[in-house]
Chains A and B, each alone.
Chain A
Amino acid sequence: EIVLTQSPGTLSLSPGERATLSCRASQSVSSSYLAWYQQKPGQAPRLLIFGASSRATGVPDRFSGSGSGTDFTLTISRLEPEDFAVYYCQQYGSSFGGGTKVEIK
């Protein structure tokens, strides 16, 4: 079973700043199989990125994904107020990472 480890656990930033979230896999993951989700309190998760770097429909271009092998990154270029949330990575519709909370500093 592939284990995904996300870091940091919490990221404290101000609106307008850049956010860089990490997802590390215990063994190599095909880039095609790495997805990122955003979850706000009281809501279901929302797909942001699939295939490591492709944005889902309607996702703003300030969100970008990159990486390969065991190391993947989600970058939010300039944080908007609505981007403060918890972000999860997932591999091939199975195991999730533990999440990174992006909070307002």
Chain B
Amino acid sequence: QITLRESGPTLVKPTQTLTLTCTFSGFSLSTSGVGVGWVRQPPGKALEWLAVIYWNDDKRYNPSLRTRLTITKDTSKNLVVLTMTNMAPVDTATYYCARFVSALPVVAAFDVWGQGTMVTVSS
């Protein structure tokens, strides 16, 4: 069974750095074609892709947030960490991590998602 779980602070102050951890099980991030990504969703709004890290340590970021994001992985511990600097109230959202697969039987999609973690940015 594949599971992903997000963890991190529920409240951060403006200008602070957010650090979120995605802990997963049931797959390995050293398997070719596999990645883990982050997606967020402000209350009542659409999904926004943030970043993804692949099995080969390749990383992709949302261009509009590129300067604020860093994604890393620890394959031995089955976890992926996302940091976002200079947080502001507009960054208040539910943050999801999800497994990305680019090999059969699923191609180029997030096939399993965590339940999400709500982060509020407020002083």
By size class, the interface of chain A is: 20 to 34
Question: Once the chains bind, are B108 and A51 in contact (CB under 8 Å)?
Answer: yes
B54–chain A nearest beta-carbon distance, Å = 9
B48 lies within 8 A of chain A by Cβ = yes
Give the distance in Å from the alpha carbon of A33 to the alpha carbon of B108 in the complex. 5
- A95 partner residues in chain B, CB cutoff 8 A: 49, 62
Task: Check B47–A88 contact: CB distance below 8 A.
Answer: yes
Asked whether, in the complex, the Cβ of A93 is within 8 Å of the Cβ of B35, the reply is yes
B90 neighbours in A (Cβ, 8 Å): none
Docked Cα-Cα span, A79 to B107, in Å, equals 26
In Å, the complex CA distance between A50 and B99 comes to: 14
> Given the complex, which residues of B lie within 8 Å of A90, measured CB to CB?
47, 49, 109-110
- Whether B47 and A50, one on each chain, are in contact in the complex, defined by CB atoms closer than 8 angstroms, is no
Q: How many residues of B contact A (CB 8 A)?
A: 26
Contact B46 A45 (CB under 8 A): no
Dominant secondary structure of chain B at its interface with chain A: strand
Closest to B52 in A: A93
- Contact of B100 with A by CB under 8 A: yes
Q: How far is the CB of B69 from chain A (nearest CB, A)?
A: 13
Q: Are B108 and A50 in contact (CB under 8 A)?
A: yes
Minimum distance in angstroms from B1 CB to a CB of chain A: 13
Nearest to B64 among chain A residues (CB) is A1
Chain B positions 74-123 with a Cβ under 8 Å from a chain A Cβ: 96, 98, 100, 102, 106-116
B46 to A50, Cβ gap below 8 A? no
A50 CB contacts on chain B under 8 angstroms? 106-109, 111
List residues of chain B with CB within 8 A of the CB of A56: 106, 109, 111
Bound-complex Cα distance A54 to B104 (A)? 11
Residues of chain A in range 53-99 having any CB-CB distance to chain B below 8 Å: 54, 56, 88, 90, 92-99
Among B60, B107, B109, B114, point to the contact of A44 (Cβ < 8 A): B114
Jot down 10 A-B pairs with beta carbons below 8 A, ordered by A: A35-B108, A44-B98, A45-B113, A46-B113, A47-B112, A51-B107, A56-B106, A56-B109, A95-B62, A99-B47
